[in-house]
Amino acid sequence: MALDRARPVGGPALLIFTITLLLLLCATSFTATATASAISGDDGHVVEGRVKVEVMRGKGFSKTANIKVIINAGEQVSFIRTDGSFSFEGVPGGTYLLEVAALGYFFPMVRVDVSSRLPGEIRASYIEGPRRISGSLVLEPLREENYYEIREPFSLMGLLKSPMGLMIGFMVICVFLLPMLMDSIDPEEMKRLQETQRANPSPISQFIQSRS
């Protein structure tokens, strides 16, 4: 196997890896302990938070009642109340990934560290970028997502740029410019050109002639 020639998978990724590691280190040094409320249960902790629903009004297909908060790819699923709050109970200590499923909005993935040594201590930070979540766990959509392409309003330029418009444009150019081109050629030059063409017929015209 040509292992020496194979480019290792880690190559460019390693660079990215180090950069993001540095970024993350910067981020975590800032991350103060978020004081999200946590009640120690008999078999785990409570992770409580809130989805900022007040900024998510107005989209037809996204109902607040249908927003879900998902831990670790579906290990636990929680629904949000009308005020946007949600809670996971019985969460053992460890690190979790928290995702919000809300149609029409993009929520960045959040990392939640539930401390098993210090009961009730929960830290949360966004995974992408150095943003930290201080105070209580409030999740805000990063952006609205528009799943549809917007129809461009009608414009003459757009019409001309369409294949049909290009065709018309090309025709117009042909009609008005080509005769001018022919006119600009010196009549003697033209004659010579025609003669040489007659003497050495191009393979294409030969082909056409042989066909006919």
Q: Which residues pair with residue 96 across a beta bridge?
A: 112
Interface region with another protein, contact rule CB under 8 A, candidates 29-37, 63-71, 182-190, 201-209: 63-71
Any contact of residue 115 with another protein (CB under 8 A)? no
Any contact of residue 7 with another protein (CB under 8 A)? yes
- Binding another protein (rule: CB under 8 A), the pick from 29, 32, 117, 146 is 146
B/e letters for 61-84, b = 16+ CB within 10 Å, e = fewer, are ebebeebebbbeeeeeebebeeeb
Report, in Å, the least distance between residue 102 CB and another protein: 8
Q: Nearer to another protein by C-beta: 149 or 209?
A: 149
Please check whether residue 4 is in contact with residue 80, taking contact to mean a CB–CB distance below 8 angstroms: no
Least Cα distance to 111 among 94, 135, 136 occurs for 94
Report, in Å, the least distance between residue 210 CB and another protein: 22
Element at 185 (helix H, strand E): none
Count the residues of the shown chain that bind another protein, applying the rule CB under 8 A: 69
Any contact of residue 180 with another protein (CB under 8 A)? no
Q: Return the structure tokens found at 61.
A: 């297909």
Order across the sheet with 138-139: list the strands.
85-91, 45-51, 138-139
Identify the residue whose tokens are 């201080």: 134
For the four alpha carbons of 113, 116, 120 and 121, in that order, the dihedral sign comes to negative
- Binding another protein (rule: CB under 8 A), the pick from 26, 145, 197, 207 is 145
Binding mask 78-107 for another protein (x = CB under 8 A): xxxxx----x-xx---xxxx-x-xxxx-x-
Give the interface with another protein as residue ranges (CB under 8 A): 1-2, 5-13, 16-17, 19-21, 24, 41, 61, 63-66, 70, 72-82, 87, 89-90, 94-97, 99, 101-104, 106, 108-109, 111, 127-128, 145-151, 153-154, 162, 164, 167-168, 171-172, 175
